[in-house]
Structure 1
Amino acid sequence: MENTKILLLDDREENLISLKAILNRDDITIFATTSPNEALRIVWENEIAVALVDVQMPGMDGFEFAETLASNPKTREILIVFVTAISKETTFAVRGLKTGAIDYLYKPLDPYITNAKVDSLIRLARSQREIREKNRLLENYATIVTNSPDIICTVQADSGRILSINPSVKTILNLDPEKLINISMLDLLVEPMRSGLQSVLINQTYLSGDTIVVEDQFFGKFRQPVWLELRIMYKNRLLFINLHDIEKRKAHELALVEARSLADKSRKVKEAFLANMSHEIRTPLNGIIGIGNLLEATDLDSQQRELLEMLLHSSGSLLNILNDILDISKIDEGKFSILPTPTNLSVVGKGIVDLMRFKADEKRLQLSLSVDKEIPDSMLIDGMRLNQILMNLVGNALKFTHAGYVKLKIQHMGVSGDLHEVRFSVEDSGIGISEDRISAIFSAYGQATLETSHNYGGTGLGLTISQKLVLLMDSELKVASQFQKGSEFYFTVMLKDANQKQEKKSIVSFKSLTPYFGKKVLVAEDNHINSLLINKYLTTWLIDTTLVVNGKEAVDAVQNEEFDLIIMDTRMPEMDGFQAASFLRKELKVSTPILSLSATVLEEDLRQAIESGMNDTLSKPFEPVKLHEKIGKLLSISV
């Protein structure tokens, strides 16, 4: 505790020495002087609580000194005790009390009486100081409450009646604060019986001592609902409630909910559209490519084979466009991932150049590949996505180059720790890109000019997808170009040495695949061409095949005959593949393996197939070798 400060004023030095000796204590700080003027300076500069003042002094007596202190707000609270040798006549006592003194000490001083009175005065001074401090705090709180932008009120805990409320209730709820006294706060609510405040009052949750926060709607101006946040504290059977206007926040939350709902609806519409588009395009495309594969296995003359190659190339281009649209959707929704696997970069580059060679020869362009010898034989990278990126870049370069060259370069830029810096670039001598159009070429459906799509074809998605794939590899696709002189597209990635070589896969004819003699397979497919195509593959592999056109016929067939495997399209009339699989598993308890054959590649459809009871999935258009592989895997399992 802070020491109490006491002033001793006496014109005789020996009296001051005597008083100091009597009052010498650790809890008292003494200021002593023989000069009234010096004493006035001391009380002005220090918070003096008690002053022991001699009455008879030359120049300014004790009465005049006391009157001076009483006249100033800063010093009027000092407790004054007169010290005098004058007789105890009533007139002197009355005059002293009128000037502000609260007691007398008579010389010669009795040490016990002096200490006792000083103790009493110190306690009184401290009590007065605490009262003044609390009054100041109350005044500050009153000012804060009065001027607060929030509604602040006190409420009886047992009844909910308002005992006091600040003027902000007029601003927020357009209610007169004076008229709300003794009114139940529940009467101000839009739905009092379902309110958070009602729950607090009934359950007495405020007794926990914690601040309780609830949100309720109150009637505002013109009886319009207003959302307020209530912060409730309990003390001495009273609730102290702060009500904050959260109408804007609630409106924002509602807007977010509506926006989220709209986004969910839009996403579902988009997914449904993509699924339908994928199914409607992939189903006939599977037939076209499949028939092309069947024709390829027959005896053809040179002209027929050339026409077949054009057919398969056009089908492949259409499939690439469809994949571009689906890929950009999956990447944008974050449903796309990069899966690094050991990859031979030379093999990837050579495969692309070999595949695109015919197009370069058609346009009499020089197509070349250069791979630095410092690059390890096997690097960890997503080879399929790398192939997709480079195919896009080389294809674009060939498309926009009419004379000269296209170069695919894979360069070793250096080593950092266990990482190799590899730069991939495609350089051409084509039409180039004007500086003002470079930024547009990476945007979805963006091309260098409006005439580009008409003159050269394509969706304009290739570079967008390539850029997004490169970004997923922690790099960035960049371009350097001069209009009418050529372009270079390039990106650099940090790769680990996989320490194993990749072998180029050889193309296997479906006729040479291992037969499944004696196996019985049920095929449910509503598209006639796809049904004939699958039947051709299966019969070539010596499989006894039964064909039906929808899920209902598939269910009937399974009830009448046993099969080793069911291959079922997911989208069919009357009963689709999902419904048929679920019925077979749950109602008929059939354990025959089921392969989902779907023209959609969306993860939602693939997941639904597994959840409905199917064992595996295969997306159209498919390679015969992939179908053969899936059949072999499923024939060896049972549910």
Structure 2
Amino acid sequence: MENTKILLLDDREENLISLKAILNRDDIEIYATTSPNEALRMVWESDIAVALVDVQMPGMDGFEFAETLFSNPKTREILIVFVTAISKETTYAVRGLKTGAIDYLYKPLDPYITNAKVDSLIKLARSQREIRDKNKLLENYATIVLNSPDIIATVEPDTGSILSINPSVEAILGISPQSLIKTSVLDLLVDPLNSALREVLVKRSFVGGETIVVEDQFYGRLRQPVWLELRIMYKNRLLFVNLHDVEKRKAHELALIDAQAQAEKARKTKESFLANMSHEIRTPLNGIIGLGNLLAATELSEAQAELVDMLRQSSGSLLNILNDILDISKIDEGKFSIIPTSTDLRVLGKQIIDLMQFKADEKKLELRLEIGKDIPDCVTVDGMRLNQILLNLVGNALKFTGTGNVTLKMEHLAQTAAGHTIRFAVEDTGIGMSDDHLANIFSEYGQASENISHQYGGTGLGLTISQKLVRLMGSELEVNSRFQEGSQFFFTLILQDANEKSGDAKPVVSFQNLPPFEGKKVLVAEDNPINALLLKKYLKAWQLNAVIVGNGKEAVEQLREEPFDLIIMDTRMPEMDGFQAARMAREELHVKTPILSLSATVLPEEVAQALEAGMNDTLSKPFEPEKLHQKIDLLLSTLAPANVSQR
């Protein structure tokens, strides 16, 4: 605690020395002087609490000194004790008290009496200062409350009655503070029966002493609802409530909620559009690819085989465009995963060159593969997506190169504890791009210019999907290009050595040469006649007895009549779709026969919907006959033996 400052004023130096000796204590800081003028300077500059003043002094006596202190607000609260050797007559005592003094000490001073009186004066001075400081603090609080932009109120906790409230209530709610005294704060609420404040009052959750924060709607000007945030604190059997206007924040939150709802609606609309688009395009595309497979399995002349090959290439290009659109959508929605596997980069590079060689030959371009000697035999990377990226880049380079060459490069830059740093690049001697065109080269559905799009064709999706895939792999697809001098697209990946080398790719087998299933009975529900024809051809080639129906309703009726070893069902059909038919087969007919969903939609939501409806597996259109054969083999070998013909 801070020492108490005491002033000693006496015109005789020996008296000051005597007083100092008596008051020699650690809790006192003494200011002593023989001059009244000097004493006035001391009390003005220092925070003196107690003054021991001699009465009889030349120039200015003790009474005059005391009157001077009492007349100034800054020194009025100093506790004055007169020290005198004159008579104890009442006249002197009364005069001294009138000047502001509170007591007398008589010479010669008794040390015990002097210290006892000083002790009591120090306690009194400290109490007065504490009261003064608290009063100032209360004045400050009152100023803060009166001028606060928030509503500040004291509330009776049992009844909710308002005991005091500051003027801000008029600015925020349009109600005068005086009219609210003794009224219930619940009366100001829009919905008092369902309010958070009422719950706090009823449950008395404020008793724990912690500040409670809730939000409620109050009636404002013209009975318009206003959202307020209430900070409630319980102390001294009262509730102290701070009400802050959060109407703008609430409006912003509601706007965000509405925006989220609109975004969700747009997402579902987009999802529905993609599902419908996928179905409407994939269904005839499956027919085109399937018919190409059927034609390829017949005896063809060289010219016919060339036409069939062109048909399959064109349908494959269309399928790639469709897959790119769906992949972009899945990446944007965070539903796309990179799955690292063991990959031989040399094999991958050779497969890309072999696949794209025919395009290079058509344009009489040299297609080259350059793989650095330090490239490891096998690394861990999503080989399918890396293949997709490099195919897009090589295809793009071939499209925009008229003469010269296209080169796929894989270069080993470094090896660290993190793995092998490998740079992938595709270089061409094509038309190149200007700096203006480079800025938008990776934007969705964008190309360098409309003239280029018209002359060379394409959607501009290849580079977009490639950039997105490269970013998912933790890198960035970059480009260097000069107009009419060619382009270089490149990115760098850090890849770990794989534990085992990837197996060689299996050769493509004609659907006619796939193993038979010895006359198993299959129910096929497919509304598209071309796809139904394709399925019938495939199943017949595999010695499966197929019953073809046109919708889910007919499939359910057929299941009521006879058992099957396998059900292949399209999901989108008229009258009754595949989901409804599968659910009815499981729940009403208690059919346990394995069901393969055959859908032209590849969205994860529809796959999940198929499994939820009771289907065992899914296959998306367009499909390769070999993939369908694998699915049938899996379902018949794992599910059918124990469940054949069971209902």
- After superposition, what is the alpha-carbon deviation per residue over 1:252-296, rounded to whole angstroms, capped at 9, x for unaligned? 011011001111111111111111111111111111111211211
1:357-396 matches, cutoff 5 A = 357-396=357-396
User: How far 1:150 sits from its partner (Å)?
Assistant: 0.6
Counterpart Cα distance in 1 of 2:389 and 2:591: 44
* Structure 2 counterpart of 1:202: 202
What is the rounded CA distance, in whole Å, between the counterparts of 1:126 and 1:327 in structure 2? 79
Please give the alpha-carbon distance, in whole angstroms, between the structure 2 residues aligned to 1:607 and 1:365. 46
Q: Give the residue type in structure 1 aligned to 2:162.
A: I
Aligned letter for 1:4? T
Letter in 2 for 1:73: P
Q: Deviations over 1:72-92 (max 9, x none)?
A: 322221100001110012221
Residue 499 of structure 1 and its aligned partner are, at CA, apart by: 4.5
Distance (whole Å) between structure 1 residues aligned to residue 423 and residue 146 of structure 2: 70
Mapping of 1:344-423 within 5 angstroms? 344-417=344-417, 419-423=419-423
TM-score w.r.t. the length of structure 2 is: 0.95
* 1:637 counterpart residue number: 638
Could you give the per-residue CA deviations for residues 122-167 of structure 1, whole angstroms, max 9, x where no partner exists?
2211111111001100110011111111111122223322222212
Shift of 1:344: 1.4
Return the offset for 1:568: 1.2
**CA distance in 2 between partners of 1:409 and 1:468 (Å):** 21
CA shift for structure 1 position 352 = 1.5
Does 2:94 correspond to 1:94? yes
What is aligned with 1:336? 336
Worse-matched range after superposition: 621-630 or 44-53:
44-53
Q: Aligned partners of 2:586, 2:343: CA distance in 1, in Å?
A: 41
How far apart are the structure 2 equivalents of 1:339 and 1:3? 76
Name the counterpart of 1:485: 485
Once the two structures are superposed, the pairs formed by residues 405-484 of structure 1 within 5 Å of their partners are 405-417=405-417, 419-484=419-484
Q: Which position in structure 2 is the counterpart of 1:586? A: 587
**Distance in 2 of aligned mates of 1:245 and 1:163:** 21
How many equivalent residue pairs?
Answer: 639
Paired with 2:291 and 2:254, the residues of 1 have a C-alpha distance of 55
Match of 2:510 in 1: 509
Q: Give the whole-Å Cα distance in 2 for the aligned partners of 1:21 and 1:183.
A: 64
Q: Give the counterpart letter for 1:615 in structure 2.
A: N
CA distance in 2, matches of 1:26, 1:413: 78
Q: Which moved more, 1:211-220 or 1:623-632?
A: 211-220
**1:290 has 2:277 as partner:** no
Q: Is the 8 A contact 1:593 1:637 kept in 2?
A: no
**Residues 388-407 of structure 1, C-alpha deviations (whole Å, 9 max, x = no match):** 11111111111111222111
Q: Does 1:235 align with 2:230?
A: no
Summarize the alignment of residues 104-253 of structure 1 with structure 2, pairs less than 5 Å apart.
Answer: 104-253=104-253
Aligned partner of 2:320: which letter?
N
Distance 1:415 1:477 in 2: 21
Other-structure match for 1:500: 500
Distance between the aligned counterparts of 2:234 and 2:421, measured in 1?
67
**Distance (Å, rounded) in 2 between the aligned partners of 1:504 and 1:562:** 39
Q: What is the TM-score when the length of structure 1 is the normalising length? A: 0.97
| 1:319-334 mapped onto 2 (5 Å cutoff) | 319-334=319-334
Q: Which amino acid aligns with 2:51?
A: A
Secondary structure, aligned partner of 1:423 = strand
**Deviation (angstroms), 1:418:** 5.0
Q: How much does 1:582 deviate?
A: 1.6
Q: Which AA in structure 2 matches 1:632?
A: D
- The one-letter code of the counterpart of 1:49 is A
What SS does structure 1 have at the residue aligned with 2:63? Answer: helix
Residue 612 of structure 2 corresponds to which residue in structure 1?
A: 611
Q: Provide, for residues 196-239 of structure 1, a one-character-per-residue CA deviation record: whole Å limited to 9, x for no partner.
A: 22222333222232222221222222222111111112223322
**Cα distance in structure 2, aligned partners of 1:120 and 1:417:** 79
Which position in structure 2 is the counterpart of 1:276? 276
Q: What displacement does 1:184 show? A: 2.5
Separation of aligned partners in 1, 2:233 and 2:305: 87
Instruction: For residues 415-447 of structure 1, give each alpha carbon's deviation from its aligned partner in whole angstroms, at most 9, with x where no partner exists.
Output: 223511211111111111121111111100110
Q: Given residue 416 of structure 2, which amino acid in structure 1 is its aligned partner? A: S
CA RMSD of aligned residues (A): 1.7
Q: Distance in 2 between matches of 1:202 and 1:251?
A: 29
Large movers: runs of 4+ above 6 Å: none
The share of aligned pairs that are identical, in percent, is 73
Report SS of the residue matched to 1:440: coil
Residue identity opposite 1:490 in structure 2: F
Query: Distance between the aligned counterparts of 2:337 and 2:616, measured in 1?
Result: 24
Give 1:176's aligned amino acid. Answer: S
Distance 1:602 1:274 in 2: 8
Q: Whole-Å Cα distance in 1 between the matches of residues 449 and 213 of structure 2?
A: 59
Confirm or deny: 8 A CA contact 2:13 2:34 kept in the other structure: yes
Q: Distance in 2 between matches of 1:538 and 1:404?
A: 48
User: Is the contact made by 1:192 and 1:198 (CA closer than 8 Å) also made in structure 2?
Assistant: yes
| Structure 2: distance between partners of 1:482 and 1:530 | 48
Corresponding residue of 2:520: 519
Query: Any conservation in 1 of the 2:418–2:494 contact (CA below 8 Å)?
Result: no
Q: Would the aligned equivalents of 2:154 and 2:241 in 1 still touch at CA under 8 Å?
A: yes
Aligned residue for 1:562, secondary structure, equals coil
Is the contact between residue 4 and residue 28 of structure 2 (CA under 8 Å) also seen in structure 1? yes
2:259 alignment partner in structure 1: 259
Residue 281 of structure 1 aligns to a residue whose secondary structure is: helix
Q: Is the 8 A contact 1:321 1:458 kept in 2?
A: no
Would the aligned equivalents of 2:338 and 2:473 in 1 still touch at CA under 8 Å? yes
SS in 1 for 2:102: strand
2:73 is matched with 73
Alignment partner of 2:638: what SS? coil
**Is the Cα contact below 8 Å between 1:377 and 1:500 reproduced in 2?**
no
Question: Would the aligned equivalents of 2:445 and 2:460 in 1 still touch at CA under 8 Å?
Answer: yes
In the aligned structure 1, how far is the partner of 2:132 from the partner of 2:518? Answer: 105
Aligned mates of 1:64, 1:236 — CA distance in 2: 47
Contact kept? 1:442, 1:463, Cα under 8 Å? yes
The SS at the match of 2:488 is strand
- Give how far 1:362 is off: 1.3
Supply the distance in 2 between the matched residues of 1:356 and 1:186 (Cα, whole angstroms).
77
Residue 34 of structure 1 aligns with an amino acid whose one-letter code is T
Deviation at 1:308, TM superposition (A): 0.2
SS in 1 for 2:8: strand
Determine the C-alpha separation between the residues in 2 that align with 1:420 and 1:384: 19
2:2 and 2:440 map into 1 onto residues whose CA distance is 75
State the shift of 1:30 in Å. Answer: 3.0
Offset of 1:578 from its aligned partner?
Answer: 1.2
Matched residues in 1 for 2:425 and 2:191: separation?
68
Alignment-mate amino acid for residue 529 of structure 1: I
Structure 1 portions without partners, runs of 5+ = none
Amino acid paired to 2:411: Q
Taking the aligned partners of 2:14 and 2:113, their CA distance within structure 1 comes to 19
* Kept after mapping to 2: 8 A contact 1:150/1:245: yes
- State the secondary structure of the residue aligned to 1:43: helix
Does the residue aligned with 1:250 lie in a helix, a strand or coil? helix
Asked if the contact 1:347/1:504 (under 8 Å) is kept, the reply is no
Task: Confirm whether residue 567 of structure 1 aligns to residue 565 of structure 2.
Answer: no
Specify the alignment match of 1:16 in structure 2.
16
| Secondary structure, counterpart of 1:636 in structure 2 | helix
Q: CA deviation at 1:9?
A: 2.0
Measure the CA separation in 2 of the matches of 1:423 and 1:213. Answer: 56
Which amino acid in the other structure matches residue 552 of structure 1? K
Structure 2 CA distance for aligned equivalents of residues 198 and 411 of structure 1 = 71
Q: Where does residue 59 of structure 1 map in the other structure? A: 59
For residue 604 of structure 1, report the CA deviation from its aligned partner.
Answer: 0.4
Structure 1 residue matching 2:637: 3-state secondary structure: coil
Bigger mean CA deviation after superposition, 204-213 or 253-262: 204-213
| Residue 540 (structure 1) aligns with | 541
Counterpart in the other structure of 2:600:
599
- Check the 8 A contact 1:425/1:490 in 2, yes or no: yes
